[in-house]
Amino acid sequence: METVGFLLDGIFTSLQWFNLVLLIFGCLIGLFVGAMPGLGSVNGVAILIPITFIIPPTAAIIFLAAVYYGAMYGGAISSVMLGIPGASTAVATVFDGRPLAVKGEAMTALTAAAVGSFVGGTVSVILFTLFAPPLAEVALRFNAPETFALMVMAFATFVGLGGDDVPKTIFSILIGLALSTIGLDLITGKPRLIFFNIPGFLHGINFLVLAIGIYGIGEMLWTLEETKGKVQMSKLSVNMKEVGRAFGALKKTIMAMNIGSFLGFFVGILPAAGATPASLMSYGITKQLSKNSKEFGEGVPAGVVAPECANNSASTGSMLPMLTLGIPGSPTTAILLGGMILWGLTPGPLLFTQEPEFVWGLIGSLYIANFFTLVLNIALIPAFLMVLRIPFAILAPVIFVLCVTGGYAPTQSLHDVWLMLLFGIAGYILRKLDYPVAPAVLSIVLGPLAEKALRQSLILSDGSMGIFFDISEKPIAAVIMYIAIVLLIMPAFGPLYRRFYKKKQTA
Amino acid sequence: MSIIKKLALVVVSLSLVAVSSVSSAKPFSPKKPVELIIPAGQGGGADEIARLVQGVIEKNDYASKPVIPINKSGGSGGEAMTYVKKKAGDEHTLIITLNNVLTTPVNQPELGIDFFNDFTPLARLITDTFLVWIATEGKNTAGVETFDDFIDLAKGNGLVMGGTGSMSEDELLLGMMRGQFGFDAKYVPYSGGGAVAKGLVGGESDFTLNNPSEQMGFYQSGDSKALVMMTPERNPAFPEVPSSYELGYPDLEYYMMRAFMAPAGIDAEVEKYYTGLLHTVYHDDEFQTFNIDDGKLMSWLEGFGLKDFLAIEYEKHGEIIKNFN
């Protein structure tokens, strides 16, 4: 087995003391940037790139990949503890992570996040090791019609996301879609929906601005009302019994781990998608297929495992098109790609044969980085739990400051801070009126991807929708499309079916 | 008071004025980090150069304060240009250009950007070239060996071209070729040159007009090949690819300029400082090697030469847009 030899070389490369120190250091920086709202792996890697010009390329990629990786773990921490998504990839983690923490099961949530991340990261790196070249071929054949079909499938799973109130869910999806059309039109290049000619709308509505507003600010207002500024949780103990209970809860999340690992990896290898859509789709599909899907959103460990598993898996997956095709699978890999070019490497089909030390050093380091981040995370849980012992009157202003910096950081414009505050208030009101907000957040992420793929496909087919349903011409797109339609119809008919069934029984 | 004393007083006060004016003319250097605005997304050609410039400055300590690249990609560069326009007189902001600085003010008059008065051009460092690329195993372009083969094929059939977005450089270029060679193609926009290259090799499009660096990986692996480079001479990075002049199409010449500008209304001292800094970067060995290997043309231009060049290019692009519409 040639691969095993290469992999062992890679693991030894990343265990050299210089590389190992950089790796652990990178994981810690990643945890920090992931946990800080507004600082995500994209900013972390972009800020650190200049430092890497003074070290060898292999050490540089190991360091930056560790930062990328650590950030996937770190994002969960603030999502669970503060209800603010620490990074865009951790938005779905808020859905169930925060309710778990509020119920007093923060320990379970954090353990689920760490273990889920570890499983996703490990499964994906094994897939990467074994199947990199054939998977690169799949990514190459996955074009606009296939991407659109996949997006339709993702949207189909959302309808089930908001609970039983289908009209309110559809309303939420449409709000998200409408917001996602603001900005530059991809095809005509013309600005769309630039309200009052404010230039800040030209870059569109940044998805993090919406997510931090709705979850961070909205959640803060909600908790202030609930706790009246008192301590949220007082009896938090960390002992072996608690730890055992937290791990015990993971038994029920095997399905979430499977979905998260495989779906995450697959979405990750598709160009331009990345870890954020992967985590959201994984959450939606896990919920849809789960037996107790009604409990999702109220705090179930599987709801934390699904997105966390998927975002780590996707971040590994997105390195595949970066290395083999020279195209980024996520915004962070776009920056890594720039880095590789500056280090004097040409990403592309020849990289594996021309620079085996670099490629396998990176792959080997992913195994090691996974292990270290898991250990670091579990070890630091007691420290993270301290946050919940702080009275909310003190915590609220801290959360507010973090939200404002988080809204400002991605685009460095005050415009986005105002928008975020607006979304925060809107999110609070929607929550009072019992509207689900998660579907809106999901559609603002996937909306632009879906629109682009749809319009590219329709240009190719001269406007015919047949391009998505032609089994002989585009088999992958057609199969995904049919599955999506079934998924879409299922929840709509579910209640009807049950009602009909009940009537028959009582009759 | 005697006349001598009065004179002495005047001399003293004059010399004081002189001293103070000398001290105020001390050369400029940045007092805080310098924002380098990129009017395009992360991972593209302009982004790559901006981050290379940042890296070279950082590594060699060419500047007293760091340079921080910030992507403002909205509105075909409109967002970035509006931002720089508002920063008039700011001594810590720079912008790297794509050709969209020449086209967006014309295409989006509602932004109110005056190309000639809202910016202070500093220097042009590089010009990037364009090539016609096809996939080596393209199903619709099988048997195409030369650029003339390609034109013949394209005239008869509606080929699909992958490009980097509406009214971007490559779509304008397609418009130019439509006029010159009498063929049209279906234009499918992607997000960035990398995705365009992948669409070509993946069989979704039939040809692209990418910059060298965007297609380099697939070129080296033999998955895609270039038919012509739109320059007067061959490029050492692509020795077997003919130039458009060689093939007898001197009108097929087009470049992407990578220049740097500051906001309007900055002092001459500040202008001199940044031009000098860019000049140091330009002559850095690493910067030179990187760009030459990438098939780019090193083409330093500053001062009046640069202003003339920009005026000519602005007019030329106005013409291209008019013909395109």
Chain B contact present for A198, CB below 8 A: no
Give CA–CA dist B177/A76, Å, rounded: 52
- Does the distance separating the beta carbons of B221 and A348 come in below 8 Å? yes
For the beta carbon of residue A294, count every other beta carbon within 10 angstroms.
12
CB of A403 closer than 8 Å to CB of A424: yes
> How high is the pLDDT of residue A313?
93
Maximum separation of any 2 CA atoms in chain B, in Å? 100
For residue B19, the model assigns a pLDDT of 47
The pLDDT of residue A502 is: 60
User: Do B180 and B214 belong together in one domain?
Assistant: yes
Given a cut of 60, is residue B31 above it in pLDDT? Answer: yes
Q: Residues 6 or more apart from B27 whose CB is under 8 A from it?
A: B269, B272, B273
> What is the per-residue pLDDT across B126-159, written as a single tens digit (0 to 9) for each?
999 999 999 998 888 888 999 999 999 998 878 9
> In this structure, are B171 and B317 located in the same domain?
no
B contact residues 177-206, partner A, Cβ 8 Å cutoff: 186-191, 194-195, 197-199, 201-204
Is residue B12, in this structure, part of any structural domain at all?
no
In 3D, which of A392, A286, A181, A349 has the Cα closest to residue B215?
A: A349
Chain A residues in contact with B50 by the CB 8 A cut-off are: none
pLDDT number for residue A126 = 92
CATH code assigned at B223: 3.40.190.10
Is A46 in Cβ contact with B75 (below 8 Å)?
A: no
List of chain A residues with pLDDT < 70: 1, 38, 160-164, 189, 229-239, 271-273, 329, 491-507
CATH number at residue B106: 3.40.190.150
Q: Are B288 and B318 within one domain?
A: yes
Q: What is the reported pLDDT for A147?
A: 87
Contacts of A309 (CB under 8 A, 6+ apart): A116, A117, A119, A120, A256, A257, A259, A260, A261, A264, A282
Residue B78 included in any domain: yes
d(CA B212, CA B194): 11
Extract the tokens encoding A61.
Answer: 């990629």
Q: Do the Cβ atoms of A321 and B72 come within 8 Å?
A: no
Residues B49 and B101 in one domain: yes
Same domain, B155 and B105: no
Residue A289 CB contacts under 8 Å (≥ 6 apart), including other chains = A255, A259
Looking at residue A407, its pLDDT comes to: 83
Parallel, antiparallel or unpaired: strands B119-129 and B297-302: antiparallel
- Contact between B220 and A355 under an 8 Å Cβ cutoff? The reply is no
Q: Let me know whether B151 and B290 are in one domain.
A: no
Please state, in angstroms and rounded to a whole number, the distance separating the CA atoms of residues A276 and A268: 9
Cβ atoms of A139 and A265 within 8 Å: the answer is no
pLDDT at B228: 95
pLDDT digits (tens, 9 = 90+) for B218-259: 888 888 999 999 999 999 889 999 999 999 999 899 999 999
Q: Residue B158's domain spans which residues? A: 138-229
- Calpha distance A357→A170 (Å, rounded): 50
CA distances from A438 to A219, A293, A360, A425, A441 (A): 13, 15, 39, 15, 5
Looking at residue B264, what DSSP letter applies? Answer: S
Nearest to B54 among A50, A351, A452 (CB): A50
CA distance A335 to chain B (A): 6
- Parallel, antiparallel, or unpaired for β B34-38 and B224-229? unpaired
pLDDT higher than threshold 70 for residue B287: yes
B70 touches A at CB < 8 Å:
yes
Strands B224-229 and B131-135: antiparallel
Residue B23 banded pLDDT, cuts 50, 70, 90: very low
Is B210 buried (19+), middle (13-18) or exposed (0-12) by CB count in 10 A? buried
Whether complex ipTM tops 0.85: no
Q: What are phi and psi of B237, to 5 degrees?
A: -75, -20
In the block, tokens 């007691």 appear at A382
Contact B198 A334 (CB under 8 A): no
Q: By CB neighbour count within 10 A (0-12 exposed, 13-18 middle, 19+ buried), where does B99 fall? A: buried
A335 Cβ under 8 Å from any chain B Cβ: yes
Question: Residues B125, B261: one domain?
Answer: yes
B145 and B113 in a single domain? The answer is: no
Kindly identify which residue of chain B lies nearest to residue A458, measuring between CA atoms. Answer: B188
Check whether residue B221 and residue B260 sit in a common domain.
Answer: no
- Quickly count: other Cβ atoms within 10 Å of residue B34's Cβ: 23
Kindly report the average pLDDT of chain B as a whole number: 86
The residue-averaged pLDDT of B47-53 equals 88
Kindly give the interhelix angle for A301-317 and A275-289, rounded to the nearest 10 degrees. Answer: 140
3-state secondary structure of B190: coil
pLDDT one-digit tens code per residue, B91-107? 999 999 989 889 888 88
Q: Decide: A117 and A73 in contact? Cβ < 8 Å.
A: yes
Kindly report the number of other CB atoms within 10 A of residue A483's CB atom: 15
Assign 3-class secondary structure to A438-488.
HHHHHHHHHHHHHHHHHHHHHHHCCCCHHHHCCCCCCHHHHHHHHHHHHHH
Give the pLDDT of residue A507: 46
Q: What is the pLDDT of residue A150?
A: 86
Identify the domain boundary among B175, B195, B229. B229
Identify whether residues B225 and B146 lie together within a single domain. yes
Predicted local distance difference test score (pLDDT) of residue B139: 86
Q: How many domains does chain B have?
A: 2
Cα separation, A359 vs A183, whole angstroms: 38
Examine the fold and report which residue of B229, B244, B263 is the final residue of a domain before the chain moves on: B229
Name which of A144, A328, A335 is nearest B194 (Cβ-Cβ). A328
Contact assignment for A50 to B58 by CB distance below 8 Å: yes
The two three-digit tokens of residue A488, written as one number: 């879409």
> Are B152 and B114 in the same domain?
no
Task: Say if CB B207 and CB B170 are below 8 A apart.
Answer: no
* B276 belongs to a structural domain: yes
Contact B255/B128 with Cβ under 8 angstroms?
A: yes
With beta carbons less than 8 A apart as the criterion, state whether A276 and A224 touch.
no
Q: Which two tokens stand for residue A502?
A: 């009940």
Beta strands in A186-283 (DSSP E): 191-192
3-state helix, strand, coil in chain B (%, to 5): 45, 20, 35
Residue B22 located in a structural domain? no
Mean per-residue pLDDT, B271-294:
92
**Residue B24 domain flag:** no
Residue A497 pLDDT:
60
- Lookup: tokens for B168: 């971007």
pLDDT exceeds cutoff 50 at B22: no
CA–CA gap between residue B207 and residue B162 (Å, rounded): 7
Q: Determine, yes or no, domain membership for B171.
A: yes
Based on the fold, state whether residues B261 and B119 are members of the same structural domain: yes
Q: Decide if B166 and A321 are in contact by the 8 Å CB cutoff.
A: no
> In this structure, how many other beta carbons lie within 10 angstroms of the beta carbon of residue A171?
17
Give the residue from B229, B244, B275 where a domain finishes.
B229
Work out the number of other CB atoms within 10 angstroms of the CB of residue B318: 14
- Amino acid type, B59: K
Helix (H) or strand (E) holding B187: strand B185-189
| Pairing relationship of beta strands A191-192 and B159-163 according to DSSP bridges | unpaired
> Tokens for B302?
């500053």
* Contact yes or no for A348 and B216 at CB 8 A: yes
**Rounded distance between C-alpha atoms, residue B187 and residue B154, angstroms:** 13
- pLDDT tens profile B296-311: 999 999 999 999 999 9
